[in-house]
Structure 1
C-alpha cells in the first residue's frame, strides 16, 4: 500500500512540475526572472542621465521608461538628489509619453553645490509617487 501512495505522490509532483513549466509567462515582454509584465510595473525606471554644467548651473538630460504609460497614469516627473538624499530639484512632466518609449527630456538650470560629486535621479509616477530604477551619475568638474 505504501508503494502505491509514494508512486501516486511522485506522479502528482511530476505532473505539477510539467504544468508549471508549460504555464510560463504568456507575455513575450515579461521579465523571465520574475514573470512580471510591463503592466505590473508600478514606477517608471530611469534608464540614463547625463549632466552638463556651464557656469553656476547644470542641465540634466534624463531618459525614462514608462511602459504602462496612459493619459490616466504616467511618469509625471523626476527628482534629482545627492547620494545622501538631499533633494536638489524636481522636474514635472505635464503629459504622457505613450507613443514615445523610452523618452528623454532635459531639466535646465539646476544648481548643484560644488562639493557634490554625483547625483541620483529617480522617476515619479502619477499614482504611486517616486520609485523604480534610479541612476547615479557623476557631476563634471566646474
Structure 2
C-alpha cells in the first residue's frame, strides 16, 4: 500500500512539471519607455534558457491593458551566450490616454509566457 502523502506529492509535482508558466518560459527582467516626437522607443530586457534554434526567445510585444497589440519585436536568432539581453523597438505609437502598457514575451517552443510586465509611461 502506498501512503496517501506520497500519492499527493506525486500528483502535485506532476501537475507542476507540465503547467505552462514555469521552467522554460521567457522572463521579462525589465523595460523602459522613451518618448521622441510623439512616438516611443521601448526597450525590453529578457532572460531565457536559449539552447539554440530549436528553443529560444523569439518575440516580445507591447499591448494595451485590454490586449490590443501596439507593436512587436521579432528576435531573429538565439541568444545562448548573451543572457539577459536587451532589444529595442522605435516608432511605437501609443495612445495619449494610456499611462501603462503591457509587455508579453514568447519562445519558439512553448509560446507566450504567462508572465507579463506592466510598464508605466513617463508622461
1:51 matched residue in structure 2: 33
User: Which has the larger share of strand?
Assistant: 2
Answering whether residue 99 of structure 2 is matched by residue 117 of structure 1, we say: yes
Please say which of residues 120-129 and 40-49 is displaced more in the overlay: 40-49
Residue-by-residue CA offset, 1:66-106 (whole Å, 9 max, x unaligned): 02442211000101101121111111000000001111111
- Inter-CA distance 137–124: structure 2 relative to 1 (3 Å threshold): same
TM-score norm. by structure 1 comes to 0.68
Instruction: Give 1:58-137 correspondences, 5 Å limit.
Output: 58-137=40-119
TM-score norm. by structure 2 comes to 0.78
- Please give the alpha-carbon distance, in whole angstroms, between the structure 1 residues aligned to 2:100 and 2:70: 12
> Structure 1: which 5+ runs fail to align?
1-12, 17-33
- Inter-CA distance 132–69: structure 2 relative to 1 (3 Å threshold): farther
- Please give the alpha-carbon distance, in whole angstroms, between the structure 1 residues aligned to 2:28 and 2:109: 17
Residue-by-residue CA offset, 1:24-80 (whole Å, 9 max, x unaligned): xxxxxxxxxx89xxxx72321111000001112101110001024422110001011
- Aligned residue pair count: 110
Larger radius of gyration: 1
SS at match of 1:41: coil
- Please give the alpha-carbon distance, in whole angstroms, between the structure 2 residues aligned to 1:97 and 1:68: 6
User: Which has the larger share of helix?
Assistant: 1
1:31 matched residue in structure 2: none
